[in-house]
Amino acid sequence: MATDPALSRDEIAQRARQAVETALARNVAGLPRTEDLVPELGFSPTPRELVYSRDLVKLYHYTPVCDEIYRVPLLLVMSLVSKPYIFDIAEGQSLIEFLIGQGHDVYMIDWGVPRPEHAKLSFADYILDFLPDCVEQVCEDSGEPDVTMVGYCLGGTIAAMYAALHPAGPLRNLVCLTTPVNSEGMELQRTWADPEHFDIDRLVDELGNVPPELVVSSIEMLRPLQRASSRMKLLDNVDNDEFVKAHLRIERWANDQIPFPGEVARQMQKDFLVGNKLFRGEFQVGERVVDLGAIRAPFLHVRALHDYLVPEASSRDLIDLVSSEDKHDLMLKGGHVSLIAGGNAKYRLWPQIDAWLAERAV
């Protein structure tokens, strides 16, 4: 498959400036804000129960289908800019459906769609408050003292930071899927986020939350011909109904982004992308500094061979940064999204997660 031609630094800078100006221009008095127009989809075909909610955050428990389940429950942690239904996108295309079918007790956090009043939320709110609160609720609801955390993309980064800052907590196992930690391996994203042309302070100060269309623009910048390539792939498989349905579901999810909480976006740009402070052991959450070397729980690290959103160079160092004696690094064929929800995920990733957890969830 042909790859997208690389954009020059000047082209990326021009696109970044244009995206910022477009987002700011839409902030017209009297017009509804983007976050007011984005409803919570709440999509999930697998039966579930809302067991806890707090402001915009919801915690769901998926109905077990086996008479006997593994003792240690799983808590799925999503990124803050994407909706979590990628974990359970459709019957037969659902990681959650597979996990409960193997006897795992599954919970999932839905971070919700930030509204203007949530613009001040920071990493400290998520990692030191919301996430520990959800972990406590999982333990209370399941009756178990331990939890396995499975984080995807930025959700994996959040889960890893939680694990580093709570080494004595109830975390039994940690699974990180396509998780960025070293921004030097994200060359295009760092160019996009260059303060010379991407004024995050102006964006957050004027808009509060970063609009989802700006998030989509930054993703499309990574592969400028992705939309055309996606159409061609559909045409090549037009007679395969299952492929077409699965492909369109993922495409819909990829474009169903949500606002990025302003203060989190500010720290992501300054401290993560530009400063690379997480990799260097200098990333601050509240008054605390994150040392990924403090992670000692059994650790599974999964990377996608064709991941353009979280390139291998940005994720590979995580396995060496953690101090766990029981740790496993896994590279699988697939892209950032197809790894967990593509047609081959049920053969590549899902059985590997199940097999690894089976020995550690008892």
Give the helix/strand (H/E) hosting 48: strand 48-54
**C-alpha radius of gyration, the chain, whole number:** 20
48-54 sheet: strands from edge to edge: 48-54, 57-62, 106-110, 74-77, 147-152, 171-177, 299-304, 327-332
Q: Which of 268, 85, 282 is nearest to 180 (CA)?
A: 268
Q: What are phi and psi of 24, to 5 degrees?
A: -70, -35
Is-contact 211 28, C-beta < 8 A? Answer: no
Q: In 10 A of CB 158, how many CB atoms?
A: 28
Q: Among the options 66, 134, 139, 153, which is catalytic?
A: 153
Q: State the Cα–Cα distance between residues 302 and 155, nearest whole angstrom.
A: 13
Is-contact 185 209, C-beta < 8 A? Answer: no
Residues with Cβ within 8 Å of residue 42, at least 6 apart in sequence: none
Q: Which of 23, 19, 14, 16 is nearest to 206 (CA)?
A: 23
Q: What are phi and psi of 109, to 5 degrees?
A: -95, 130
Q: State the Cα–Cα distance between residues 246 and 343, nearest whole angstrom.
A: 7
Q: State the Cα–Cα distance between residues 295 and 338, nearest whole angstrom.
A: 28
Is-contact 305 334, C-beta < 8 A? Answer: yes
CA 77 to chain centre: 7
Q: State the Cα–Cα distance between residues 280 and 273, nearest whole angstrom.
A: 12
CA 201 to chain centre: 23
Q: State the Cα–Cα distance between residues 214 and 161, nearest whole angstrom.
A: 26
| Residue linked to tokens 């160019």 | 191
139 is catalytic: no
Mind telling me the catalytic residues?
Answer: 153
